[in-house]
Amino acid sequence: MKHRTPAIPPHHSSYGDPMLETAIQAARCAGEEIVRRYPLDRDITAKGFRDLVTDADMAAQQVIVERLHRRFPEHDIVSEEARANHLSGEYTWIIDPLDGTTNYAHHHPVFAVSVGLLRHGEPFLGVVHNPLSEETFAARQGAGATVNDQPIRVSATATLQNAMVAMDWGHNNEMRKQMLGCAGLTLLRCGTLRVIGSAALALAYVASGRLDAYFQTGLKPWDVAAGILLVREAGGRCTTRTGMPYRIDRPDCLATNHRIHDELLPLVGAGGPEGKRP
């Protein structure tokens, strides 16, 4: 039986952008499908080492892709589950239909839908939707960032010792060794350290001031395409863990409220191949 896209009331954001409106609608519809399946038994497949996919991932992807294809048939679409790598077209949608699959598979309520749009390879708009809290974070290049149409800004935390910092481990053991080194150094200097399990949601929380910073290695474009734009449009700063300008095809990222970036950078860079211990 062909999957039917859930019907939900229309959403009209303050941006007035048809591409952003479509992204919001697609993310919210995918979120409804994810929530509908949340209390049910999981159909879980391992697509790699410590890398899971569920029936909800596939169903949510179908919802999003169908809506984007129907509205913008000329645009390219790249999704985590499709594993394509074409990012340089005029308009390319970058989708993670369920970011935080491991959390979802264990009924841990921290996951999100991420829908980003690149224009000539650069983030142009982004939506991160938390289907359990019904919060939709959205941004368009040059137009700021919002949650449920209310403007958001990064936090005003000025020192690392007062900061709430978040991270994730990554899949393979080499990544985890790097992250363990970064975590050990950071934990001794920051206010507290959290592991999230969803890069998209963590970046949305940096953008909205709920976290002061987030770092990770082993990231893919669909993990960050929407969230990075949220952080930038909310006044934050994004680099690699070694201080290079961040692009969505780079595997490691440090996103902060800007104020604590320079203080945190040598700590999280210490675990990387170019990093040095402070």
pLDDT at 24: 98
Residues 54 and 128 in one domain: yes
Sign of the alpha-carbon torsion through 84, 88, 89, 90: positive
Select from 190, 182, 196, 192 the least CA-distant residue to 241: 182
Q: Average model confidence (pLDDT) for the chain?
A: 87
This prediction's pTM: 0.88
Which domain-ending residue is among 151, 175, 209?
A: 151
Between CA 41 and CA 9 the distance in angstroms is: 28
Residues 137 and 168 in one domain: no
Residues 131 and 49 in one domain: yes
Q: Looking at residue 91, which CATH number applies to its domain?
A: 3.30.540.10
Residues 39 and 59 in one domain: yes
Kindly give the parts of the chain with pLDDT less than 50. Answer: 1-12, 49-51, 272-278
Residue 176 placed within a domain: yes
Residues 136 and 198 in one domain: no
Residues 122 and 146 in one domain: yes
pLDDT at 31: 97
Residues 207 and 266 in one domain: yes
Residues 56 and 139 in one domain: yes
Between CA 56 and CA 80 the distance in angstroms is: 13
Domain that holds residue 218: 160-271
Cβ distance 197 to 110 under 8 Å? yes
pLDDT at 278: 34
Order of strands, sheet of 253-256, starting from the edge strand that comes earlier in the sequence:
192-195, 164-167, 213-216, 253-256, 237-239
Residue 7 placed within a domain: no
Q: Looking at residue 251, which CATH number applies to its domain?
A: 3.40.190.80
pLDDT at 231: 98
Question: CA of 196: how far to CAs of 9, 16, 84, 169, 214, in Å?
Answer: 30, 32, 26, 9, 9
Please count the structural domains in the chain.
2
Digit-coded pLDDT (tens) for 173-215: 888 888 888 999 999 999 999 999 999 999 999 999 999 999 9
